[in-house]
Structure 1
Amino acid sequence: MKRDNKMNIDYLKEASQIFKLLSNETRLKMLVTLENKAISVNELSARLNIEQSAVSHQLSILKKHQLVDTNRVGKLIYYRLDDPHILDIVNEAVQHSSHVIRGKKHGE
C-alpha cells in the first residue's frame, strides 16, 4: 500500500466499510455458502432459511462493495464470490472466536 496519507485514509475508510459488512451474521453466512459455487437467490434463500427479498437486499449490498458478482443464465441470476480472499478474513475471525469461546490463549 502506498504511504500517501490521502490514499491510506481512503483505503482505511473502505476497509472500515468492509468490516461493517462482515459484522452482519447473515452476510457472513452468505459469503461462506458462496465459497465453492455460484448459487441463485432462490437456492441461497432456501439454504439459509431467509426470505428471498432479504437475501436479494443483502446480496446487493455485498455486490456494491465487490464481494459478490453475478452471472445470468437464462432468467436466473447466480451469485458467486467476487473476491474469494475475503474468506481469509472471515476464517481468521472464526479462528479468533474459537479461542475466545473456549477461553484459550492463542497457541494453546
Structure 2
Amino acid sequence: MNIPKDEELYRLADLFKIFGNPTRIRILSALKTHELCVCDIADLLGMTQSAISHQLRILKQMQLVKFRRDGKTVYYSLADDHVYTILSQGMEHINE
C-alpha cells in the first residue's frame, strides 16, 4: 500500500479546506470560462470588492488562481486545468 507522506497529506488537506467555503467555490466557478477582474466578480456574485479580494488572496496563496495586470486592472483566472477538473468532478459527483 502506498500511503503519502505526512507533509503531502497535510498539504492535500489544506487544499480541500479551500474548497470547503461556498464563496470561494462561487469565485472559482465564475472563473471557469474566462478571466475576470475583482469588480466583475463582485457584480456577478452580488458581493463587495473587498470580500472578493480577501477570498482571491487565499485562492492565490493556494495557487488555485493566477492573475495578470493590464494597467491598473488586475484580471484573475484559474491557475491551471487541475482546478477546473477538481471543480467539474466535484459537481459531477454531487449530481450523480
The reply to whether TM is greater than 0.5 is yes
Q: For 2:81, what is the secondary structure of its paired residue?
A: coil
- Counterpart of 2:27 (choices 21, 24, 30) is 30
Structure 1's unaligned 5+ residue stretches are 100-108
Between the aligned partners of 2:81 and 2:55, the Cα distance in structure 1 is: 17
> 77-86 or 36-45, which moves further after superposition?
77-86
CA contact (8 A) 2:78 2:84 kept: no
TM-score normalised to structure 1 length: 0.80
Between the aligned partners of 2:72 and 2:86, the Cα distance in structure 1 is: 33
- Structure (1 or 2) with the larger CA radius of gyration: 1
Q: CA RMSD in A?
A: 1.6
CA contact (8 A) 1:35 1:84 kept: no
Moved over 6 A (4+): none
- Counterpart of 1:55 (choices 48, 52, 57) is 52
CA contact (8 A) 1:68 1:82 kept: yes
| TM-fit CA distance, 1:59 | 0.2
Residue in 2 that maps onto 1:74: 71
1:81-107 superposed Cα distances (whole Å, 9 cap, x missing partner) = 1123122122222122123xxxxxxxx
1:48-81 superposed Cα distances (whole Å, 9 cap, x missing partner) = 1111100000000000010011100000011111
Structure 2's unaligned 5+ residue stretches are none
| TM-fit CA distance, 1:38 | 1.2
Q: Which amino acid aligns with 1:15?
A: L
Between the aligned partners of 1:57 and 1:43, the Cα distance in structure 2 is: 15
CA contact (8 A) 2:69 2:75 kept: yes
Q: What is the aligned residue count?
A: 95
CA contact (8 A) 1:38 1:79 kept: yes
Q: Which amino acid aligns with 2:93?
A: H
